[in-house]
Amino acid sequence: MKKVLVVGGGGREHAIVDALSRSARVAKIYCAPGNAGIAEQAECVSLKDTDVDGLLAFAKANQIDLTVVGPEAALAAGIVDKFRAAGLKIFGHTQAATAIESSKDFAKRLMAGAQVPTAAYRTFTDFDKALAYVKAGSFPTVIKYDGLAAGKGVVVAPTLEEAEAALRDMLLDGRYGEGKVVIEEFLTGPEFSLMAFVSGRQVRPMVAAQDHKRAFDGDEGPNTGGMGAYTESFATGKSGLSFISDEDYDFAVSHILQPVADAMADAGTPLSGVLYGGLMKTPTGIKVIEFNARFGDPETEVVLPRLESDIYDVFEAVATGSPIPGLQWRDESVMGVVMASKGYPGSYAKGVAITVAPAFAERIYHMGTKRQDDGSLVTAGGRVLMVIASAPTMPEASRRCYAAVAQITCDNLFYRHDIAKYVL
């Protein structure tokens, strides 16, 4: 029986811990740093996700069989390289391979070389040249900071004034660090997320899901880390989303995920973790909006509950470069609604009491919670928790999910009322 260390402490890591706790091969789960919900299923270790040396020392001292990395910051900090150099098994990409997420310019060049469909683009470091390019183009235009910017590095600018302000921020004011931007064509169509377990040239796609990035109903308000997600039963096809046909799904795997895995292997930086495609179904076909080098949050919280296969086997195969087993998925719809602190993604209060009704019968994945010394639960982050409901159909999953949300009492939480509206 195996001992596993999960790195991270949000809803995504809670879903990973939950999936591992269903494994027949796992005896003990640690999570660093974890959170109040994770603490019910794993032993939390108070180490930061980017404390690579501390995590390595912990894994050695506790004879951890396998480490699973959630957040990109830990990958970008080189956790996988260091663990492997020490002879430890770890699920996640090397620092070099994480560039598929951490550098937009790298991702765009890779896609161009592998003929992967994506928005046309140019890269700039010079403000005047970038501004001249934007002036000569059409609006809206899309400006992306080339580096990790905690999800805040993308500006869809409807006017020249807004584009200029974004360029000034990113190239002149050094707001996020060294200045390089990608300016790209504005695409239209529904967005969806397709994740795959990837090891070298092996690609095992998961079911697709849709995230809701804006804070308020009707896709109003600022961009957030994600306010809800869903994935649908196989009643309308194999993708897990009724608006993504079997042909679309096959295209995304064979013309996007597979060529990217191959190109990374060819470049000497093979993938060994999750490849997340942020995709759009445009009038001219499926195109890439972005790649992430990790499980999506909050998509993972609705996708992993459907995974029937033993996730330890999958993680271990990827970590060791062995053949990845085929994936079995439950034929059900899953919806997750995020409950966030009022004010998020801006400033918000912490430490507000949360009460869950005794009759509550669905899953909760904790995102930012804390347990007080007296055992009571309080808010401790922007996104606080995610309520997950599964059912044979989407309308039923939605009814159950919102009924469960109503059983959670807290003075300082808000949530969207229209998750999965696009398909309901």
Pair of tokens at residue 164: 């200029």
Instruction: Establish if 299 lies at the interface with ligand AMP (CB under 6 A).
Output: no
Pair of tokens at residue 56: 């390595």
Instruction: Establish if 228 lies at the interface with ligand AMP (CB under 6 A).
Output: no
Q: How far is the CB of 129 from ligand AMP (least distance, A)?
A: 20
Residues in the interface with ligand AMP (CB under 6 A) total: 13
The site partner of 299 among ligand AMP, ligand GLY, none (C-beta below 5 to 8 Å per kind) is ligand GLY
C-beta closer to ligand AMP: residue 360 or 422: 422
| Residues in 168-187 that interact with ligand AMP by CB under 6 A | 184-187
The site partner of 156 among ligand GLY, ligand AMP, none (C-beta below 5 to 8 Å per kind) is ligand AMP
Question: Of residues 226, 270, 277, 336, which one binds ligand GLY by CB under 6 A?
Answer: 226
Pair of tokens at residue 147: 């580096």
Instruction: Establish if 297 lies at the interface with ligand AMP (CB under 6 A).
Output: no
Beta pairing, strands 363-366 & 353-356: unpaired
**Cβ-based neighbour number of residue 357 at 10 Å:** 11
Whether 48 contacts 69, CB under 8 Å: no
Pair of tokens at residue 86: 């020490």
Instruction: Establish if 405 lies at the interface with ligand AMP (CB under 6 A).
Output: no
User: Pattern 293-332, binding to ligand GLY, x per CB under 6 A?
Assistant: ---xx-x---------------------------------
18 Cβ partners below 8 Å, 6+ apart? Answer: 41, 304, 305, 363, 365
Whether 142 contacts 134, CB under 8 Å: no
Distance in angstroms (rounded) separating the CA atoms of residues 33 and 185: 39
User: Pattern 39-78, binding to ligand GLY, x per CB under 6 A?
Assistant: ----------------------------------------
The site partner of 186 among ligand AMP, ligand GLY, none (C-beta below 5 to 8 Å per kind) is ligand AMP
Question: Of residues 56, 74, 119, 207, which one binds ligand AMP by CB under 6 A?
Answer: 119
Instruction: Establish if 156 lies at the interface with ligand AMP (CB under 6 A).
Output: yes
Distances (CA, A) of 276 to 5, 107, 219: 22, 12, 22
C-beta closer to ligand AMP: residue 88 or 142: 142
C-beta closer to ligand GLY: residue 153 or 270: 153
Distance in angstroms (rounded) separating the CA atoms of residues 307 and 357: 28
Question: Of residues 154, 327, 352, 391, which one binds ligand AMP by CB under 6 A?
Answer: 154
Question: Of residues 142, 171, 318, 324, which one binds ligand AMP by CB under 6 A?
Answer: 142
Instruction: Establish if 214 lies at the interface with ligand AMP (CB under 6 A).
Output: no
Whether 80 contacts 272, CB under 8 Å: yes
- Sheet containing strand 154-157, edge to edge, reads 121-124, 181-184, 141-145, 154-157
Q: How far is the CB of 212 from ligand GLY (least distance, A)?
A: 9
| Residues in 188-217 that interact with ligand GLY by CB under 6 A | 211
C-beta closer to ligand AMP: residue 169 or 184: 184
Q: How far is the CB of 215 from ligand GLY (least distance, A)?
A: 14
385 Cβ partners below 8 Å, 6+ apart? Answer: 11, 37, 338, 339, 354, 364, 365, 366, 367, 368, 369, 408
Instruction: Establish if 34 lies at the interface with ligand AMP (CB under 6 A).
Output: no
Could you tell me where the DSSP H helices lie in 381-423?
A: 394-405
Q: How far is the CB of 360 from ligand AMP (least distance, A)?
A: 32
Q: Cα–chain-centroid distance for residue 99? A: 16
Residues in the interface with ligand GLY (CB under 6 A) total: 6
Instruction: Establish if 157 lies at the interface with ligand AMP (CB under 6 A).
Output: no
Pair of tokens at residue 324: 């990845």
| Exposure string for 302-323, b = 16+ CB within 10 A, e = fewer | bbbbbbebbbbebbbbbbeeee
Give, as one character, the DSSP assignment of residue 39.
Answer: G
Using CB under 6 A, list all residues that contact ligand GLY: 211, 226, 292, 296-297, 299
Binding site for ligand AMP (CB under 6 A): 119, 142, 154, 156, 184-187, 191, 213, 278, 289-290
